[in-house]
Amino acid sequence: MRASVLTAFAFAASMAFAGPLQASPMSDACMRVANAKLQEWNQARLLRDRMDTYANGSTLNTQIIFTENGMFQLVKGVWRTGQATRHQRSAGSASSVAHNMGFTDCSADGAENVDGQKALVYSYEQGPDMKSRVWISEATGLPLRTEISQTPERYDIPAKIIMTYAYNDDVHVPKVAEQRNWIRMKTSQDWLNYMATGTPGTSH
């Protein structure tokens, strides 16, 4: 379970799409998108609700919540938990985000409302087969919605991804997820006690 959670964290942290490094200077639009992604990961609490649509029409909805010291991922009705500190998910600088994610052909596409919030809309690419749009809050500079379209190389890679976001006081960890996290930590502590003393613990 821990391996799958850490894999999910790496998947989420990279947006699952590491495009080619770009050597040329980034446009203002690319830097605006990169700064929004940087600020997203720097929030104390972050929720990303993600809907994947596959080439055959099937869909998969997942949620991932990050707190100051942990992460909670909901996949197919099951919560998985792991440890990920706010410092660990910090993405460095906006310029490094832009280069590492391979932003190209960025453009500003005007303004729209997202759930009552005024948002500036940007388009960008990450390679020839991936096109994205992001709605960035005019008030906070944080992403509110992202839509990604790509040409999948395999059947298990989505053709379209839609993500919506919530931050800080708007993010609440469900009780069942907290319970799963307690079991994970208790199991780990029991294992450490057993390794140190040879006395098995009890987890509930």
Position 175 scores a pLDDT of 94
For the record, the structure tokens of 107 come out as 């453009």
> What is the pLDDT, as a whole number, of residue 16?
38
Q: What is the pLDDT of residue 75?
A: 93
How far is 17 from 52, CA to CA, in rounded Å?
Answer: 14
Domains recognised in the chain with CATH numbers: 2-194 (2.50.20)
pLDDT at 5: 45
Angle at 37 (CA atoms; ends 164, 122), nearest 5 degrees = 75
Q: Residue 60: what pLDDT?
A: 97
Instruction: State residue 79 phi and psi, 5-degree precision.
Output: -90, 130
What pLDDT score does 84 carry?
A: 87
What is the predicted pLDDT for the residue at 152? 93
Per-residue confidence (pLDDT) for residue 200, from 0 to 100: 64
**Can you give the pLDDT of all 204 residues of the chain as single tens digits?**
444 444 444 434 444 333 443 434 579 999 999 999 999 999 999 999 999 999 999 999 999 999 999 999 999 999 999 888 898 888 789 999 999 999 999 999 999 999 999 999 999 999 889 999 999 999 999 999 999 999 999 999 999 999 999 999 999 999 999 988 788 777 776 667 767 777 665 544
* pLDDT value, residue 18: 39
Q: For 168, left (φ over 0), alpha (ψ -120 to 50), or beta? A: left
Rounded to two decimals, the pTM is: 0.78
Confirm if 154 and 163 have CB atoms less than 8 A apart: no
Q: How high is the pLDDT of residue 202?
A: 54
* Cα–Cα dist 120/181, whole Å: 37
